[in-house]
Structure 1
Amino acid sequence: MTVDLAIRHTAIPGLLVVDLPVHGDSRGWFKENWQRAKMTALGLPDFGPVQHSVAHNGPAGVTRGIHAEPWDKFVSVVHGRAFGAWVDLREGPTFGTVHTEELDERTAVFVPRGVGNSYQTLAPDTVYSYLVNAHWSPDAHYTMLNLADETAAVPWPIPWADATVSDKDRAHPRLGEVSPVPAARTLVLGSAGQLGRALLAQLPGAVGLTRAELDLGDPAAIAGLDLSGVDTVVNAAAFTQVDRAETDDGRRQAWAANATGVAALAAVAARHGCTLVHYSSDYVFDGTAREADEGEPLAPLGVYGQAKAAGDLAVSVTPRHYLLRTSWVVGDGGNFVRTMQRLAGGGVEPRVVDDQVGRLTFTSELARATAHLLTSAAPYGTYHVTNGGEPGSWAQIARRVFAHEGRPQSAVHAVTTQDYAADTPDPTAPRPPRSVLDLSRLRATGFEPTDQWQALEDYLGTDPA
């Protein structure tokens, strides 16, 4: 009987059992042992295998393991039958958790890094297939557990005394002697910025690098970036001075950090098999779409947007990436909302642009969405991330701030972008007139953005220090 392709979760986080459809007749059988599009659509991580290995065991009872390897692994049986046992050897609350499964041609298992795996053949001439996302190396570090450990108590079908086991596997330590496999690290670049600080607060155990520690504009520094033990790189570093990007020095700095540096970072992340999270901007669009979705053609109006668009293209071809486009970012430092709050308190009546429309994105919301995408096994790719709710103009936002501070909304004087630029002594970059991003793809992952107007009220009630 043919079963549908399905993925089953286990008590070990990330250890997934895959039920494979097998099509057979009098001539034999056929199966799609690895089908990236179908399997990732069902929730299997897009783990990017780089090596395929095959192992043959002659007699029944050959038992191997328990080995936790420094890569992700997709294991299946091509011929014969086997009993598989997996023990979580990663640090954390599930350390020591056991899962067992009988394997034949209809079953495969995705084994995440740090989970010990072992197999006992139940039939002669059993052949295993392994896909892994790192090349095998004799210098690779394995964490081992004794097959006969009393705590794990794996119920081997063939008694231990009758099994064929290597002397090396018999000598592995008991669970109480095993040093848990450290969790793969998340590295946050630009950690001293508003978004970087929000990310560190949202991502437990993440390690930050400031611009002083890693400058995206320095190709040599990026080439020498040590990503050993790092699973995810979150790039919150960027050149964000939109108007200064229109100057000679600013143009070079914008391209160095937002395009050339990002391309170099994407190459390093791909080489190490890391997931890369990168943040982009509504400025990559020309603002003519009423609501721009992820497929909107890139059409930047100024240098800042052009450099960000180039960075988008570099990130988009990285095997494991989340490219998050956002708009009108507000965090815990100086920003438009805090400026309006200060002007309201000072009795000023500001002139504010009323013909640019979009949504605010609070850094806490952007960090929350980042954590959601990373932990929910959402498909890799581009997502638009802002707060939700009805869009508004900068002048409307300013009026909300003034009202919160007890000032009349009429104190905010609406002007056009053209008039505002004409009265500004310094050159200003062109802005997209409409920065409303479609959030449908983000919502489809199970994330519901917080209404921007409610988030604004909450933000105004916090200490601006």
Structure 2
Amino acid sequence: MEQARGLKTKTTPIPGLVLLELPVHGDDRGWFKENWHRSKMMALGVPDFGPVQNNISFNSLRGTTRGIHAEPWDKFVSLASGRIFGAWVDLRDGPTFGTLFHAEMTPEDAVFVPRGVGNAFQTLEDGTAYTYLVNDHWSLDAQAEYTFLNVGDHDVAVPWPIPLDRAILSPQDRGHPALSDVTPMQARRTLVLGADGQLGRALRQEFQGDPTVDFAGRADFDITAEEPYRSTEWRKYSAIINAAAFTAVDAAETAEGRAAAWRINAGAVARLARTAVEHSLTLVHVSSDYVFDGTAPVHQEEEAPSPLGVYGQTKAAGDAAVAAVPRHYIVRSSWVVGAGRNFVRTMAALAAQGATPAVVDDQWGRLTFASDIAAGIRHLLTGNSPYGTYNISNEGEPQTWAAIAQDVYRLCGADPGKVSPISTAEYAKPGTAPRPRSSVLDLSKIKDTGFSPPPAHSRLEAYVLSETPS
């Protein structure tokens, strides 16, 4: 017997449910097949779902019927022997809830069943065995998260080849609820860490009203402590957004600050990366222009890190850890402005006081408003953008800090001439961390995904007017 057919996939009316045709090779001794081949199946659109457990179910008699069970993990099922009728019903919350797909399967077939899609099988031959891979470990706690549908539900109306009154079913499967009484399985959630900081507050605003997003400040989840990693039910999540960071650039140059920066920006981020790998999560991590020395006039995502100071070194180390996660987004920003203390708010306060500040005029960049970082993160997560590193700043001509300060004064109705431009060398004091000369980020890659950051000048105007009393 030669190869019966090539590896193929078949789409179904249930999103994410994929039927596969597997090549079977055989001779007089029997047959052989590649039951799971990661790279080949990924090339055909089957997700790399990271199986961690392999189970086998043997059914001695024709007519054995199991289901309909929607499990809180993904599942890849194929036959070792016999023939079955498979039925799948979408029990996830959404527009396809209640959609049915069914097909017969032999050892030449397999099916990928995404989390929340109910699956049921009826054996059509004696001595049928099927094997299935899952990407989470079964436990009593996990079983409590199952969603069930009655195999004889009249609304779904599965066309069982062997009538259920002649089939072999467990009492439990006979007692499952009708579709009208099923509580749909909710989508996996997103966990935002560092939710009380400048970016964290912007993320709260961006995802306001979204019931699938959880927010955790430091009091809820300290990323430097081990306990929250052990106690969190990671099965409930599909993504982590890490908005927690040590951002005191000058303080990072002190002995105490150096230790804190490495503990938070590098060590804790590596722990998050390990968690993401272990639980097949998408990890979103926010990086900084400080990973560069600023000698390049414009920084692209592929540029090798060359940090000048401790803060930049710790951020570069965190980036390296996150880059090892298969599903990751590193979002690199510059000159962030949001709620809380920041450069723009400081300049507005000085303008109100009639102060004459000296501001650096030989460092170039663009402001990045936290609300636009948050919007960019949401765009990456919901738009199926390719994983990797993305620069996100606001659009427009690069400016110096002094030019931005003058714009703030002007918007506040103060004299911009009160801002005195000075050089970095003149401004530097003992303990001041080195800064990149150019913090300008190339935005081509994020724009290619369909996200266009708004101009910095319009964001600055709106921000200053909202912060300045009328």
CA distance in 2, matches of 1:98, 1:343: 62
CA distance in 1, matches of 2:46, 2:396: 32
Per the TM alignment, residue 147 of structure 1 is displaced from its structure 2 partner at its CA by 0.8
Distance 1:18 1:175, change over 3 A: closer
Match of 1:226?
232
197, 202, 206: which is aligned to 2:201? Answer: 197
Distance 1:348 1:116, change over 3 A: same
Per the TM alignment, residue 245 of structure 1 is displaced from its structure 2 partner at its CA by 0.4
Q: Which amino acid aligns with 1:227?
A: E
Per the TM alignment, residue 405 of structure 1 is displaced from its structure 2 partner at its CA by 2.7
TM-score w.r.t. the length of structure 1 is 0.84
Match of 1:117?
119
349, 355, 362: which is aligned to 1:348? Answer: 355
290-299 vs 224-233, which deviates more? 224-233
Aligned residue pair count: 458
> Equivalent pairs: percent with the same residue?
52
Match of 1:63?
65
Please list the CA deviations of residues 236-263 of structure 1 after superposition, one character each: whole Å capped at 9, or x if unmatched. Answer: 1111100000011111111111112222
Per the TM alignment, residue 101 of structure 1 is displaced from its structure 2 partner at its CA by 4.1
Conserved 8 A contact 1:82-1:120: yes
Q: Which amino acid aligns with 1:135?
A: H
Match of 1:152?
156
315-324 vs 292-301, which deviates more? 315-324
Q: Could you say what the CA RMSD is over the residues aligned between the two structures, in angstroms?
A: 3.5
1:316 and 2:323 are equivalent in the alignment:
yes
Please list the CA deviations of residues 74-98 of structure 1 after superposition, one character each: whole Å capped at 9, or x if unmatched. Answer: 34567776544333334x4448421
Match of 2:402?
395
Match of 2:103?
102
155, 173, 177: which is aligned to 1:173? Answer: 177
452, 455, 466: which is aligned to 1:451? Answer: 455
CA distance in 1, matches of 2:184, 2:459: 41
Secondary structure of the structure 1 residue equivalent to 2:374: helix
Conserved 8 A contact 2:73-2:135: yes
Conserved 8 A contact 1:145-1:175: yes
Please list the CA deviations of residues 129-182 of structure 1 after superposition, one character each: whole Å capped at 9, or x if unmatched. Answer: 533211234653122211111233334455434544344322222234434434
Secondary structure of the structure 2 residue equivalent to 1:66: strand
CA distance in 2, matches of 1:111, 1:163: 24
For 1:128-277, list aligned pairs within 5 A. Answer: 128-137=130-139, 140-141=142-143, 142-203=146-207, 204-205=210-211, 206-217=213-224, 219-228=225-234, 229-277=236-284
Distance 1:275 1:153, change over 3 A: same
Secondary structure of the structure 1 residue equivalent to 2:300: coil
Match of 1:439?
443
- Which sections of structure 1, spanning at least 5 residues, go unmatched? none
CA distance in 1, matches of 2:64, 2:44: 33
1:373 and 2:377 are equivalent in the alignment:
no
Conserved 8 A contact 1:7-1:42: no
Q: Which amino acid aligns with 1:100?
A: F
342-351 vs 246-255, which deviates more? 342-351
Distance 1:214 1:166, change over 3 A: closer
Conserved 8 A contact 1:285-1:298: yes
1:382 and 2:382 are equivalent in the alignment:
no
Q: Which amino acid aligns with 2:394?
A: N
Please list the CA deviations of residues 100-151 of structure 1 after superposition, one character each: whole Å capped at 9, or x if unmatched. Answer: 1436578754433223222345677766453321123465312221111123
